A = this chain, B = another copy of it.
Amino acid sequence: MRSADVSVYTPGQVVEETGFSLDTLRYYERIGLLEPIGRNAAGQRRFTQQDVGWLGMLRCLRGTGMPIAEMLRFAELTRAGDHTFRERIALLEAHDRRVEEQVDNLREQQVAIRNKIRYYHSVAG
């Protein structure tokens, strides 16, 4: 029987889906951002649907500038179980505020950049 392997992903497929490089996936596993990934008989990683979902969360946090150390904390809270919901909320809300600041900041500096562009246009003819 071929793989109708219910929702199991090879490393290559996970790279494809998440945009993380293979090295990054191994690195994340090493440092504990991912729980130890399951293996097939040959010792190769086989990611579950859950693993991929968690990676999606990580991509989102990384993509908004959360440092690895804080993601690690989040990972630990998540592993610790349901009694950590409040802490996880606090962590994400704090991060959300930082994202908001980032956006405001970018918008503000973008105005300055656009002014500069307009100035250059005015003097460059």
Docked Cα-Cα span, A86 to B120, in Å, equals: 8
- Set of chain B residues within 8 Å of A96, measured between Cβ atoms: 110, 113-114, 117
| Majority DSSP secondary structure for residues of A touching B | helix
- Set of chain B residues within 8 Å of A3, measured between Cβ atoms: none
Q: Are B92 and A120 interface neighbours, CB within 8 A?
A: yes
Q: Are A121 and B89 interface neighbours, CB within 8 A?
A: yes
* A residues adjacent to B (C-beta < 8 A): 57, 60-61, 63-64, 82, 85-86, 88-89, 92-93, 95-96, 99-100, 102-103, 105-107, 109-110, 112-114, 116-117, 120-121, 123-124
With A64-B106, A106-B64: A113-B85 Cβ-Cβ less than 8 Å: no
- Set of chain B residues within 8 Å of A106, measured between Cβ atoms: 64, 99, 102-103, 106
Q: Are A85 and B116 interface neighbours, CB within 8 A?
A: no
Query: Could you pull out 19 A-B pairs where Cβ atoms are within 8 angstroms?
Result: A60-B109, A60-B113, A63-B109, A64-B106, A64-B109, A64-B113, A85-B123, A89-B117, A89-B120, A92-B116, A92-B117, A95-B113, A96-B110, A96-B114, A99-B106, A99-B109, A102-B106, A103-B103, A103-B107
